[in-house]
Amino acid sequence: MNLNLQDHIKTLKASNRVFHHIKGKEPGATVVFFAGIHGNEFAGVNALNTVIPKLNKNDIRGEIFGVYGNIKALKANRRFIDKDLNRLWTSQQLEQLEKEKNPENELLEQIDLYRFIKCVLASTDHPIYFIDLHTTSSKTLPFITINDALINRKFSACFNVPVVLGIEEYLEGPLLSYLNTLGYVSLGFESGQHTDPQAIQSCEAFVYLVLNYTNNLINPEIKKIEDYKNELKSASKSIDSIFEVVFKYHIEPDENFKMYQGFESFQPIKKGTLLANSDGKDIYSNYSAKLFMPLYQKSGKDGFFIIKTIPRFFLKLSEFLRKVKADHVLTFLPGITWHNKTKGILKANLKVARFLTKSIFHLFGYRNKHIDKDHLLLYNRERVAQKERYKNEKWY
């Protein structure tokens, strides 16, 4: 790829990929907003079209981008055409991407986005923020999803909304998981239900507040900031706890899955609650917790999630353990070895290390993925997080 960032932006603007771009008069952070990674989610597009045109580049530090995700799917008002664009960002897929001879639909979209991201990363030594704007098929409070790195936790704490950790253990190939392997602050913001006007309002509030906390606004409007804080606080019903995903119902190919009506995200449920039906068989909750993102659309393989609040004590303990890099003791345990120390990846032999629970790994900052029935790969976002790049940010 020989294009520099500004040349590539011109190309992407011509293709309508970059639909907003402001380069400020002063140096500062680069903030990239992705909207429409799923083509039936328009709130992010509408919010960016409302907020960014009102900004004056003379009052901006750094650069701000509004980037379309799946353009073809947005035009068709479909989640995707052939493949879910937010499930394609695995290392294996990215290696294969450069070799694609006849890419179509989502692969073309991904190539475009991948080139843009690489240009952005090479263009600045200032902080970079990636924000992925989404909505859900069910009614929900606005919330943030993050990969569990402390820089993500700290930045998420700026907003008066719930934060959900650990979803990367249950999803394969989200865009934000890829960006987190590179060490950048990367948040997903789910502003509400797809067609709910409140979702656009919450998204507008979030976009403006992001630009305030990243210090891109030289003269932020104090009243607007307070109004937007109150907007999010009201929409989220003053819930700002940190939750963790403990279960996902995965829909198999050709499975006839149907969520029963009346459920919404963050709704308390008890063990034994009837939630859905699969091929004529009822599905009940095995947890007394909160329901999260129940599926009320035809596309998608995530039937529903279940989340639980993380006690503040464990959040503080995990922060301490990560700061002192206590995770090196894990390799002294039987069955635990480094798979890739530079990238912060451990390998666990489950036959030997079966006594270790998920929660222990989570304390040290590791999230896991099965590679076969006997082994886990454990990924640590702290070892790759670019803390030096963000240490002078006002939220840090």
Average per-residue pLDDT for the chain: 93
Choosing among 3.40.630.10, 3.40.190.10, 2.102.10.10, 1.10.3720.10, the CATH entry for 5-240 is 3.40.630.10
CB-CB contact of 134 with 206 (8 Å): no
What pLDDT is attached to residue 309? 97
In this prediction, residue 8 has a pLDDT band, given cuts at 50, 70 and 90, of: low
Domain ranges of the chain: 5-240, 243-309, 312-380
> Quick one: pLDDT at residue 1?
38
Mean pLDDT, residues 212-223 taken together: 96
Whether the CB-CB separation of 24 and 216 falls below 8 Å is answered with yes
DSSP H helices in the chain: 5-14, 43-51, 71-76, 91-97, 106-123, 150-156, 175-181, 197-213, 222-235, 312-323, 358-363, 387-390
Q: How confident is the model over 168-193, as pLDDT tens digits?
A: 889 989 999 999 999 999 999 999 99
Residue 114 has pLDDT above 50, yes or no: yes
Give yes or no for a contact between 393 and 215, defined as CB atoms under 8 angstroms apart.
Answer: yes
Mean pLDDT (whole number) for 363-377: 83
365: left (phi over 0), alpha (psi -120 to 50) or beta: left
CB atoms closer than 10 angstroms to residue 297? 13
User: Helix, strand, coil shares of the chain as percentages rounded to 5?
Assistant: 35, 30, 40
3, pLDDT greater than 60: no
Could you tell me if 290 and 273 are in contact, meaning their C-beta atoms sit under 8 angstroms apart? no
pTM, whole model, 2 decimals? 0.94
What average pLDDT does this structure show over 145-171?
A: 95
Residue type, 317: L
Structure confidence by residue, pLDDT tens digits, 295-315: 999 988 999 999 999 999 999
Task: Say yes or no: do domains 5-240 and 243-309 share a fold.
Answer: no
Lowest mean pLDDT among 10-19, 91-100, 178-187, 235-244: 10-19
Q: CATH for 243-309, among 2.40.10, 3.40.630, 3.30.450, 2.40.50?
A: 2.40.50
On the question of pLDDT at 371 being above 80, the answer is: no
* pLDDT of 2 higher than 60: no
